[in-house]
Structure 1
């Protein structure tokens, strides 16, 4: 009994020391701008919390907390830490081809690698995101105010009020700084890609991430619900899983979107196209508390199959 207790105490002590070895250098980063502070090359980085992993060619790449990115060329038996220019938590990684990939994370960061994940550069962050959202809000409010002044038919007063609220939200978000996380990223090829995230963030690039455009208005999401994950089916149909059980579907590369209702009011964390029969595809959407929904008609009807 004494030997067993001592053994458990020893294991607990070793685990505690391992956590301290990982956390101690990171404490020195407290107070610094995490978007301008490179991820610390920690001896115990492989013990960090990792949030996403992909295979690219013969390499496996994982991303996680404190800006830590790990890669393995031995199917996970050994790992190396990548050089990363930020120390924010990274939430997702995607490689459309073996060498070129992108990662996204907290504070609106988007990173790019051109060597299979060993080295990364920052392309975008929440400061740029805030500027894009604020500019779009100002234009929307200006256009709505002009339409109201001209007496355009419809409901100009309601449109103006909605535009004013959206602008207020954009201004409030900018005051908080680059605080809103991105949750997922997808690229069609080395040029065209999409990043989605909290509060309806939706950005598109056509030049490999050198510039990004705000595409949030293309989705019917007036409440700014979280967009949690993006994927593509074998036919190239884009799918986004979001808050309040929403699934969004685009058959034209993201130019327009249809909202698919599940009847669920919680979070959906992913949606996948799993098989195809003729023009129809089978979709699986999954979310909080074990809720899973299935469609055999490309999303026209998503029925619960678990939960």
Structure 2
């Protein structure tokens, strides 16, 4: 598909391997399993990443070993494809391992950019994307040997796009500067079949049918940040975000609000077995919902002491109240990462 410059501006860059920060490898911490851990992924094995460049790998989901990696930058997200692992994070760092985490290479490191990557996803062992703060969006077609920066104006709300087009008529250079400065944070990307979903800042929910080359932004009556989006089936998409907000979209209609009566920010979605869906949040909050999801009118000014949850919604809290960041199911267990390290969750 032809891409206009307004929809996608791409540029290549040279990776900096000489910075002294890269010479400092992640500290091998004796209590690493209790440190701040931010993301988890699994295929035939489990990978966890977190603060100070911590990377943990487990073959059975029980015993984890920390791996030596060539950065101490906080790692925010990871993905597994076969034996390959990619991890991304602060300082725009991208790490890669081709042998299940035994050895690592730095594919990108740009501390001067001052923008962290927040998620990473690969369509196969060669083609992947990494997304992050202020519209950070990089793509590779060769397994990460080269990463190309893209800017997607289609992810902006219509008013911002209109503003930019007016500027562009007068000054292309200023247009590029403004585009780079007002793009929202891109928090999470999710692939389902041939559809790529994205959740971000300022009410951003979007989908792409061509691996993120172009985007269609959803209209949703909410301007806060979303932190995860996942399809539940062929016709239903769920999104969660700031202050406990949960929205569901059915049959490509309007996004509807799900009342949980929790104001803790929700960081991720876990689709359980059967009809249950889970949302993991700050303060150790775990929202359990049954399909089909009930909806109600959203009232941002309602008194929380008078709130009643929608039918089929249950709110629980883990004992230590540590923020739950993400979780995956592996060999019959639900393994979560949190501000207090690795947790095994018992889900109903």
| Residue 256 (1) aligns with residue 214 (2) | yes
Aligned to 1:21: none
Give the 5 Å matches for 1:71-220. 71-76=57-62, 78-97=63-82, 99-126=83-110, 177-217=112-152, 219-220=154-155
CA 1:220–1:42: 2 relative to 1, 3 Å: closer
CA 1:122–1:219: 2 relative to 1, 3 Å: farther
Cα distance, 1:74 vs structure 2: 2.8
Aligned to 2:52: 66
CA 1:294–1:115: 2 relative to 1, 3 Å: same
Give the 5 Å matches for 1:290-301. 290-298=244-252, 300-301=253-254
Higher-RCO chain (CA-CA 8 Å, sequence separation at least 6) = 2
| Residue 286 (1) aligns with residue 271 (2) | no
Aligned counterparts of 1:35 and 1:302: Cα–Cα separation in 2: 44
CA contact 1:285–1:292 (8 Å) conserved in 2? yes
Q: Secondary structure at the match of 2:129?
A: strand
Given candidates 175, 186, 190, the residue that maps to 1:227 is 186
Given candidates 238, 250, 272, the residue that maps to 2:230 is 272
Aligned counterparts of 1:266 and 1:44: Cα–Cα separation in 2: 35
Cα distance, 1:259 vs structure 2: 0.7
Aligned counterparts of 2:102 and 2:247: Cα–Cα separation in 1: 37
Given candidates 189, 195, 198, the residue that maps to 1:237 is 195
TM-score, structure 1 normalization: 0.67
CA contact 1:218–1:255 (8 Å) conserved in 2? no
CA contact 1:231–1:239 (8 Å) conserved in 2? yes
State the number of aligned residues.
Answer: 218
CA contact 1:184–1:197 (8 Å) conserved in 2? yes
Cα distance, 1:212 vs structure 2: 1.1
When you count strand as a share of all residues, which structure comes out higher? 2
Structure 1: gaps (5+ residues): 1-31, 128-176
Alignment RMSD (CA, Å) = 1.7
Aligned counterparts of 2:103 and 2:183: Cα–Cα separation in 1: 33
Aligned to 1:37: 24
Aligned to 1:306: 259
Cα distance, 1:43 vs structure 2: 2.3
